[in-house]
Amino acid sequence: MTLTRRLEIYICEDDKEVKKELYSQLYNWRYLIVNGANEMLSYLYSIDRLKYYKFITEQSKIDLGITGARGEPVKEGSAGYVLLSERMKGKVPTDILNCLQKTVTKKYTCFKPALFKGTCSLFTYKNNTPIPFSSISIKNLRWNQDLNHFEFTLFGIRFGITLGRDRSNNKKVLESCICKTVELCESSILIDDTKRKLFLLLCYKCGSKTVLLNDAKSVDASLSAETPIIATFEGDVKLIGNREEFMHRRLQIQSAMRRAQINSKFSAGGKGRKRKFMAVSNFHNKERDYIKTRLHTYSKILVDFAVANRCKSINLINQTDKEKRAKCDPFLLRNWSYYGLKKFIEYKAKLWGIEVRILELPKNNLESNIN
- Secondary structure of 232-250 in HEC code, one letter for each residue: EECCEEEEECCCHHHHHHH
Say if residue 219 is in the same domain as residue 366: yes
Sequence-ordered alpha helix ranges (H) in the chain: 16-50, 58-63, 79-88, 94-117, 170-179, 249-263, 273-276, 278-281, 286-308, 319-328, 330-335, 338-351, 365-370
What is the CA angle 100-102-105, rounded to 5? 105
Q: What residues contact 226, with CB distance under 8 A and at least 6 apart?
A: 242, 243, 370, 371
Say if residue 218 is in the same domain as residue 325: yes
Say if residue 235 is in the same domain as residue 342: yes
Would residue 136 count as lying in a domain? yes
Percentage of the chain modeled with pLDDT above 90: 18
Res. 10 pLDDT band, cuts 50 70 90: very high
Q: Return the SS3 of 69.
A: coil
Say if residue 218 is in the same domain as residue 348: yes
With 0.95 as the threshold, say if the pTM is over it.
no
Would residue 364 count as lying in a domain? yes
Residue 178, number of CB atoms within 10 A of its CB? 14
Last residue of a domain, one of 185, 205, 225: 205
Last residue of a domain, one of 90, 117, 144: 117
Q: Could you tell me the CA-to-CA distances from 32 to 84, 85, 132, 281, 340 in Å, in that order?
A: 10, 12, 12, 27, 32
Res. 29 pLDDT band, cuts 50 70 90: very high
* Helix/strand/coil percentages in the chain, nearest 5: 50, 25, 30
Q: Is the pLDDT of residue 45 over 90?
A: no
Bigger pLDDT: 298 vs 321: 298
**Mean pLDDT of all residues belonging to the chain:** 82
Q: Is the pLDDT of residue 363 over 70?
A: no
Domain residues for 355?
Answer: 214-244+292-370
Say if residue 51 is in the same domain as residue 188: no
Say if residue 83 is in the same domain as residue 154: no
Last residue of a domain, one of 205, 231, 260: 205
Bigger pLDDT: 68 vs 18: 18
Bigger pLDDT: 104 vs 209: 104
Would residue 325 count as lying in a domain? yes
Would residue 286 count as lying in a domain? no
Tell me: the pLDDT tens digits for 330-355? Answer: 777 677 777 888 888 988 888 888 88
Tell me: the pLDDT tens digits for 84-133? Answer: 877 788 898 989 998 998 898 889 888 888 888 888 888 889 888 999 99
Q: What's the CA gap between 145 and 151, in Å, rounded?
A: 10
Q: What's the CA gap between 149 and 143, in Å, rounded?
A: 6
Number of domains in the chain: 3
Q: Could you tell me the CA-to-CA distances from 187 to 25, 171, 201, 222 in Å, in that order?
A: 19, 17, 6, 36
Would residue 302 count as lying in a domain? yes
Say if residue 226 is in the same domain as residue 345: yes
Say if residue 89 is in the same domain as residue 175: no
Tell me: the pLDDT tens digits for 242-274? Answer: 888 888 888 888 888 888 888 887 777 666 677
| Average pLDDT for 174-199 | 89
Say if residue 161 is in the same domain as residue 220: no
Bigger pLDDT: 170 vs 209: 170
Q: Is the pLDDT of residue 368 over 50?
A: no
Say if residue 80 is in the same domain as residue 199: no
| Average pLDDT for 28-35 | 92
Say if residue 301 is in the same domain as residue 224: yes
Confidence at residue 371, expressed as pLDDT on a 0 to 100 scale: 46
